[in-house]
Amino acid sequence: MAKRFTKPAINWAELDKRVPPEQKPQFLVFKAKADNYLRRVNASPPEPPKINWEEYKKVVPIPDLVDKFKSAYEAYKVPVPEDTMTAKVDEQWKSLEPAIKAYCAEQQKHIDTASKALARIAALPKFEDMTMETVYDMYPEYRLDPVNKPTFWPHEPEDQYGYKPPAPPAGAPKEPPKKK
């Protein structure tokens, strides 16, 4: 006989946390259908009803008819489809696990980099307390040095004498010529 489910195997509370807000209506429809199905399964008995064959033998005039029905009733088995998909799903999951672990490791590197950047930002003084001298002490590459590196106002790199724009990355589309 097939395995009877008496409670859902899905952790709906955990799944609800992972559903994006824009997909909540579809999730609620799916959950309602699953709950409805489980209620219908639980409403029917797990075993077929027992029949009092002796009572039928007393009532039915044909002697062997009740025995034929009894043997046919007991011989009948409800066909239950064979589970062939669980093995395939488990196999796919095992083949995907290394890719998932590699992806998680790669994302962990990004998380570590972002955490370091956030820690660096958190270590900065409050914006209200910073002065230009503080910024120049922390980031000397942005400091104006009129003696060693004189610049013209507005002191932006593209406004300086001899400025060359950075080369575009390899494979980037070239800009079309400007119309005059």
Residue 22: per-residue pLDDT: 96
Residue 1 pLDDT class (50, 70, 90 cuts):
very low
Per residue, the 3-state secondary structure of 122-152, as one string, reads: HCCCCHHHCCHHHHHHHCHHHCCECCCECCC
Residue 142 C-alpha from the chain's centroid: 43
Per-residue pLDDT for 4 more than 80? no
Please provide the size of the chain in residues: 180
Residue 146: per-residue pLDDT: 83
pTM as predicted: 0.43
Residue 2: per-residue pLDDT: 53
Residue 17: per-residue pLDDT: 93
The residues spanned by each domain of the chain are 89-123, 127-159
> Is 31 within 8 Å of 12 (Cβ atoms)?
yes
> Is 37 within 8 Å of 8 (Cβ atoms)?
no
> Is 53 within 8 Å of 70 (Cβ atoms)?
yes
Q: pLDDT tens across 55-107, in order? A: 888 898 887 898 999 999 888 887 888 888 989 999 999 999 999 999 999 99
Q: pLDDT tens across 12-66, in order? A: 999 999 999 999 999 999 999 999 988 888 888 877 788 888 888 889 888 789 8
Distance CA 114, CA 112 (A): 5
Residue 156: per-residue pLDDT: 86
Per-residue pLDDT for 168 more than 70? yes
